Amino acid sequence: MSRYDQNETYDGSARYDDFAVPLTRKKMKPKLGLDRLKPHEVVALGKTVKAAMTTNAATFPNANPTMVALGALITAAEDGITASDTADATAKLVRTQRDTLVAALAAGLTQEAGYVESRAAGSATIIELAGMAVKAPSVPVGPMPQVLELAVTASDHEGWLDWMCKPVRGVSSYEVWTSPDPMTEVGWKFAFSSSKSSGTLKGLTSGSKVWVRVRAIGAETDPGPWSDPAVKVVP
C-alpha cells in the first residue's frame, strides 16, 4: 500500500495515474496583408512599422532591415508614387491636347474636301488628284421587303409585350400594329413607329391575347409587306 508524505496534502479526488499535460502556446506571426494594399497604403504601413519599431528599439535591437534602410525604402517608394501620379496627369493632359489637335486637323480636312468637291464639279479624276478617295454614289435600296422572324414575348412588366424582328436594310422605321383576339382585318390598329427592329408594347390588358404585325417603311419607297402575325398572352 502506498504511503502518503506527511508534509503533503492529498487530494482525494485525484488518481495516482493522473498527469497534467502542459499546453503548447501557438507561435504567432506578423500579418501585413500587402497583397490587398494600394501603393500609398503600403507606404503608410511602412511609416507605422518604422515609428513603432523606433519607439520600441530595445525590443528590436537588430532590426533587418535597419530603421535607416527601411526609411530609405519608404522615401524611395513615396518618390515613385509621386512620379507616377505626375506622369499620369501629364499623360492625361497630353492625350487631351492630342485629341484637340487631331479634331482640328479633321475639321481642316473636312473643309478641304468641300473645296475639292467644288473644284472637281463631280469629276472623280480631279478628286483623286487631291489625294482623296472618291465616295461611291448612293444606290437606291429598292422596295422594302417583308419583315421576317417577328417574335413577341412576355415582358417583365405587367401589361407589356416585347417584340423583335430581323433587321431590314435601308429601313427608315418599322410600323407596329396590334389586333385583339380573334384576329380580324378590321381589328388591326396602329400602335407606334420605331426606328429599331425591337421594342415594347405597353398599356395592354393583362391576360388578354394580342396579335402583332410589323412592316418596314423606306425613306423613299412605299411600305413593305406585313410580317406574318405573331400572338401572345399579355402578362
Q: Give residue-wise pLDDT tens across range 18-56.
A: 555 566 677 888 989 999 999 999 999 999 999 999 999
Domain coordinates of the chain in residue numbers? 32-137, 151-233
Rounded Cα–Cα distance for residues 156 and 164 (Å):
15
The candidate with the shortest Cα–Cα distance to 177, out of 228, 125, 111, is 228
Whether the predicted pLDDT of 216 surpasses 70: yes
Q: Is the pLDDT of residue 153 over 50?
A: yes
Q: Is the model's pLDDT at 225 over the cut of 90?
A: yes
Kindly tell me if the per-residue pLDDT of 116 is higher than 60. yes
Q: Which tens digit of pLDDT belongs to each residue from 58-81?
A: 999 999 999 999 999 999 999 999
The pLDDT assigned to 13 comes to 54
Report how far residue 214's alpha carbon sits from residue 177's, in angstroms, rounded to the nearest whole number. Answer: 6
Q: What is the mean pLDDT of the chain?
A: 88
CATH label, 151-233, candidates 3.40.47.10, 3.40.718.10, 2.60.40.2250, 2.60.40.10: 2.60.40.10
Place of cell 487631331: 102
pLDDT of residue 16: 46
pLDDT at 1: 47
Q: What is the residue type of 151?
A: A
Instruction: List C-alpha distances in Å: 51 to 54, 80, 100, 108, 222.
Output: 5, 21, 48, 61, 82
Single out the residue of 92, 230, 106, 233 nearest to residue 160, CA to CA: 233
Side by side, the strands of the sheet bearing 171-180 are: 189-194, 171-180, 209-218, 230-233
Which of 135 and 139 is assigned the larger pLDDT?
A: 135
Given the C-alpha cell 405587367, which residue does it identify? 158
Question: Which whole number is the average pLDDT over 161-184?
Answer: 94
Task: Say what the pLDDT of residue 199 is.
Answer: 95
**3 state DSSP class of 231:** strand
